[in-house]
Structure 1
Amino acid sequence: MPINIPRELPAGKALKQEKIFVMDENRAKTQDIRPLNIVILNLMPEKEKTELQLLRLLGNTPLQVNITFLRMVTHESKNVSKSHLDTFYSTFDEIKDRRFDGMIITGAPIEQLEFEEVTYWEEIKEVMEWSKQHVTSVLHICWGAQAALYYHYGIEKHALPKKYFGIFPHDITDPTIKLVRGFDEIVHAPHSRHTTVSYDAVKNNSELTLLSSTEDREPFIILSNDGKHVMITGHLEYDATTLGDEYTRDCDKGLDIELPENYYPHNDVTKKPLNTWRSHTHLLFSNWLNYYVYQQTPFEWK
């Protein structure tokens, strides 16, 4: 089934070229079906790239999905035009009286700041508090995952000695949990962050289940026991080239940045990186939408 997106959204053309079933607003109105309503709080700087990455995943399920993009009014985005935001994004005030079946809160390149130092932290807190009563399940990515762990469960983040940057293997602790149903024993995934959360703090929290981590005890997939929150500390949504783009950007800025680990074949930047996490990414999004959104959300919100 398709995703329903605004008619002129730039990502729509790319999705159709990839044979993702996309339906615009006009056609969707003729469908006699109860679609899922998903709101995406996109905090990433290159918003159009993130839109395409997430819509590609949400469009690969048998469910019809209506998409609403959300932005922060207390933050001015520098890498996307104001007209794009005005046309395709809503503010919290515009959607706060609605209820959504699912929500995605993305990462943001601000993890080296304390949460309270983030200019839009108060607005983020308001959205996360609102989600408790207005959203069935929330998927949090990277900084969004750290923010959720801090706000909902009091788990602090802390700085790493160096940037955790590359493709890393993770084990699955309990393959019977529906979120990771069908996963292999080892899952590869991209990470790009300067901070982490304590393995022990997550393991010892009675409200959380740690579903996946690395051999060196880096938490990866965390699920609240009520299914309300899914926290992914990496970037499963990334394309094969995304880490390479970040590496080139940082090099151009003159930053002291190492090659992303396990990324370029033989650590040769002239070799094309392979996407070794695509299948698990699609499976995780499908499992989340099916088991934690579709099968849990009320048919009619009251």
Structure 2
Amino acid sequence: MSILIDRDQGISSPALVPADGDLARDRGRGELTIGLINNMPDPALKATERQFMKLLQAAAGPRRIRFHCFSLPSVKRSPEAKWHVESEYSDLSDLKQQKFDGLIVTGAEPVAPELDQEPYWRDLTDLIDWAKANTRSTIWSCLAAHAAVLHLDRIERRPLPAKCHGIFDCDAVTGDFLTRAAPAPLKISHSRLNEIAERDLMQAGYQVLTRSAQAGVDIFVRQYASRFVFFQGHPEYDALSLQREYLRDIGRYLAREREAYPHLPVSYFDAATEEKLARFEKRARHQRHPALTNELPALTLRADIAAGSAAAALFRNWLQYLGTDAEVPLPAR
């Protein structure tokens, strides 16, 4: 997938990339080339595309963005999702033939007990090594962040006693440009079973930018030829992303595809909804059957989740960094 995002362009029907003759003109207006390596699980594949497209469009200001979608070929896909990737995405081999200002790399659903045993591990580590020298900056999201620090510095993630799932208040702990003019606190969605400990990051030379008293480290960075930005959370999530994940996990519990009933997302549903869901959980534990999903109560989110406000500020600052006059390295051959 290769599309052009313009400030005034709606993305429900994205425009095609202009002819090559327009390239010099667009570069002069501050065009950026961004790649999304979308490895998210099949149910979230298209939603992740839309979330990052909307986010980049909102953050771009007067800039134009050439936006290319890729996915690691070794990520396991259903036939439908595989068809979507093969028909709509660019081939990963094309990535190294172009010059990218920035990359965004998402995580994938784990299928192996250890990250370096995942079927996509070789493809992902090759991408990490390439991005260090061939982008101005790369964002590594959630599991991709965990995989990147494991490959780069052998920092092991640690399993959490319970899933970190909800919206957490995160505070900026440095004056870094990435958090400039961001709301305080930043309300960031987290959805993970593991964490990278701040002590391990600091000992290896990473800089922590934001943290949460409940969720721990949120954003951290490290400078190579490319500036690597790591998100343990999901600032790109829309208002309903956590709800979709929570309902998916309830469905898996009722279908006996997972043993534990999922915890409520933190600071997400309003009080009345949490009470209704607590009653539903008691019933589900006694009447465990997939048909019970049809009787889930109506759900209402809290009014103060501020979905997207933190992400808009973070990505606006990131695009401004990409658009500065510093030279972007040419692709390595």
- TM-score w.r.t. length of structure 1: 0.86
Root-mean-square deviation (Å): 2.6
Instruction: Give 3-state SS (helix, strand or coil) of 2:87's partner.
Output: helix
- Higher Cα Rg, which structure: 2
What is residue 316 of structure 2 aligned with on the other side?
286
CA distance in 1 between partners of 2:328 and 2:142 (Å): 30
Q: Residues of 2 paired with 1:96 and 1:267: CA distance?
A: 51
Any idea what SS the aligned residue of 1:83 has?
A: helix
- SS of aligned partner of 1:288: helix
- Percent of matched pairs sharing the same residue: 25
Does residue 39 in structure 1 map to residue 68 in structure 2?
no
| Conserved 8 A contact 1:58-1:285 | yes
Deviation at 1:93, TM superposition (A): 2.0
> 1:27: how far off?
7.1
Q: Name the aligned partner's letter for residue 267 of structure 2.
A: N
Query: Which one of 254, 276, 280 corresponds to residue 306 of structure 2?
Result: 276
* Runs of at least 5 residues in structure 1 that lack an aligned partner in the other structure: 8-12
Report how far residue 80 of structure 1 moved: 4.3
Structure-1 separation of matches of 2:176 and 2:240: 31
Task: Find 2:327's aligned residue among 285, 292, 298.
Answer: 298
- Which structure would you say has the larger RCO, counting Cα contacts within 8 Å and 6 or more residues apart? 2
Aligned CA distance change for structure 1 residues 284 and 178 (closer, same or farther; 3 Å): same
Equivalent positions of 1:33-72 (< 5 A) are: 33-34=26-27, 35-45=31-41, 46-60=44-58, 61-62=60-61, 63-72=63-72
User: Does the 8 Å contact 1:70/1:89 carry over to 2?
Assistant: yes
On the 8 A contact 2:75/2:108 being kept in 1, the answer is no
1:258 aligns with 2:263: yes
CA contact (8 A) 2:181 2:313 kept: yes
Point out the more displaced range, 147-156 or 267-276.
267-276
Aligned partner letter, 1:39: G
| Distance in structure 2 (CA, Å) of the matches to 1:110 and 1:278 | 26
2:198 matched residue in structure 1: 199
Deviation, 1:200, is: 0.8
1:182 Cα deviation from its structure 2 partner: 0.6
Write the distance in 1 (CA, Å) between the matches of 2:17 and 2:142: 31
Q: C-alpha offsets along residues 49-106 of structure 1, whole Å, 9 cap, x if unaligned?
A: 1000000011121221111111122233227433321222123223223221100001
Q: Describe the superposition over 1:88-145 as per-residue Cα deviations: whole angstroms up to 9, x where unpaired.
A: 2123223223221100001222287311221110110111111122211101111111
1:232-251 aligned within 5 A: 232-251=231-250
CA contact under 8 A between 1:47 and 1:80: conserved in structure 2?
A: no
- 1:81-100 equivalent positions in 2, closer than 5 A: 81-100=81-100
CA distance in 1, matches of 2:162, 2:252: 17
1:14 Cα deviation after fit = 7.2
Quick check: which one's strand share is greater? 1
User: Quick one: which amino acid aligns to residue 260 of structure 1?
Assistant: P
* CA separation of 1:300 and 1:277: change in aligned 2, threshold 3 A: same
Amino acid at match of 2:32: L
Q: Residues 9-39 of structure 1: CA distance to partner in whole angstroms, max 9, x if unpaired? A: xxxx97349xxxx542247864612121111
Whose helix proportion is higher, 1 or 2? 2
Normalised by the size of structure 2, how large is the TM-score?
0.78
Please state whether the residue corresponding to 1:170 is helix, strand or coil: strand
How many residues in Structure 1 have an aligned counterpart in Structure 2? Answer: 287
Structure 1 residues 250 and 95 mapped into 2: Cα distance closer, same or farther (>3 Å)? same
Query: What is the alpha-carbon distance in structure 2 between the residues aligned to residue 300 and residue 133 of structure 1?
Result: 7
Contact 2:183 2:309 in 1 (8 A): no
What CA distance in whole angstroms lies between the structure 2 residues aligned with 1:294 and 1:218?
31
| CA displacement at 1:294 relative to structure 2 | 1.5
Gaps in structure 2 of 5+ consecutive residues: 275-298
Matched, 1:25 2:24: no
Aligned-partner SS, 1:90: coil
Alignment of 1:19-168 (within 5 A): 23-26=15-18, 30=22, 32-34=25-27, 35-45=31-41, 46-60=44-58, 61-62=60-61, 63-78=63-78, 80-110=80-110, 113-168=113-168
SS at match of 2:192: strand
Which amino acid in the other structure matches residue 5 of structure 1? Answer: I
**Conserved? CA contact 2:267–2:302, under 8 Å:** no
SS in 2 for 1:162: strand
